[in-house]
């Protein structure tokens, strides 16, 4: 899907985005983000960039783990999403650590070798050029910095996959579109984008082609999501 249509979709659902994420994931989305932070090897002085940050949930999960010596920037090209993120910052104790920035993942406004960790949670599949997006994430990471990608994937167990697909393609879009009152089928786009996204092994290969080494991935919750982590060579 073209970038301007993606921006329009997410602008329209920004107000309901967090509530629906929690509801439709059966409140597992927070656990997945905390697992991503854990495998990123973050510490109290880490500098973190979370791209496609949306309402800032993954960025804030990183901010929970760092001290005053660290920084977290959340970038997104959807202003309406960042508005929601900014409101959260003012309600959090660690607002010193997290700064939302309006920016396109395909052209990040940061110098080479800037961040210890560059992450993305449920956003990289929405980037119009997947490889370029990962290359940009890699470019702005420090040498031996970590790239962490949290994303939906397709379960491998055939029985569970059938049940999951029914929920994912029928129930989730119906509930999501009704609650958000979205007329552009934003929550129908979600399962379609996941079905078209590379498999875990394919994404691992792409990350390696983008200059990352020691790429590992961890399937969670019966394989419906995966966390990929690689190190900049």
Q: Is the pLDDT of residue 103 over 60?
A: yes
Q: Global pTM? A: 0.92
Q: Name 161's Cβ contacts closer than 8 Å, sequence gap at least 6.
A: 154, 155
Q: For 191-227, write each residue's pLDDT tens digit.
A: 889 889 999 999 999 999 999 999 999 999 999 999 9
Domain residue spans in the chain? 3-232
Q: Name 216's Cβ contacts closer than 8 Å, sequence gap at least 6.
A: 39, 228, 229, 230
Superfamily of domain 3-232: Vaccinia Virus protein VP39 (3.40.50.150)
What pLDDT does 96 receive? 58
Q: Tell the residue number behind the tokens 């406004």, with chain if given.
A: 109
Q: Taking residues 173-197, report their average pLDDT.
A: 85
The two structure tokens encoding residue 82: 């960042």
């Amino acid at each position: 899907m073209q970038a301007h249509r993606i921006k329009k979709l997410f602008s329209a659902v920004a107000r309901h985005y967090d509530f629906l994420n929690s509801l439709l994931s059966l409140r597992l989305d927070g656990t997945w983000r905390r697992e991503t932070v854990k495998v990123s090897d973050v510490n109290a002085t880490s500098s973190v960039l979370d791209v496609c940050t949306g309402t800032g949930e993954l960025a804030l999960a990183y901010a929970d783990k760092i001290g005053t010596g660290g920084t977290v920037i959340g970038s997104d090209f959807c202003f309406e999403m960042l508005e929601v993120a900014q409101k959260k910052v003012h309600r959090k104790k660690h607002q010193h650590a997290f700064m939302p920035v309006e920016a396109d993942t395909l052209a990040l406004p940061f110098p080479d070798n800037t961040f210890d960790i560059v992450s993305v949670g449920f956003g990289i599949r929405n980037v119009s050029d997947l490889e370029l997006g990962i290359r940009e994430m890699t470019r702005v990471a420090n040498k031996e910095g970590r790239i962490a990608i949290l994303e939906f994937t397709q379960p491998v167990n055939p029985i569970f996959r059938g049940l999951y697909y029914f929920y994912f393609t029928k129930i989730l879009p119906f509930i999501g579109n009704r609650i958000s009152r979205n007329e552009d089928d934003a929550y129908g786009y979600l399962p379609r984008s996941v079905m078209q996204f590379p498999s875990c092994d394919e994404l691992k290969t792409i990350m390696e082609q983008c200059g990352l080494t020691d790429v590992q991935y961890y399937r969670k919750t019966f394989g419906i999501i995966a966390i990929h982590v690689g190190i900049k060579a």
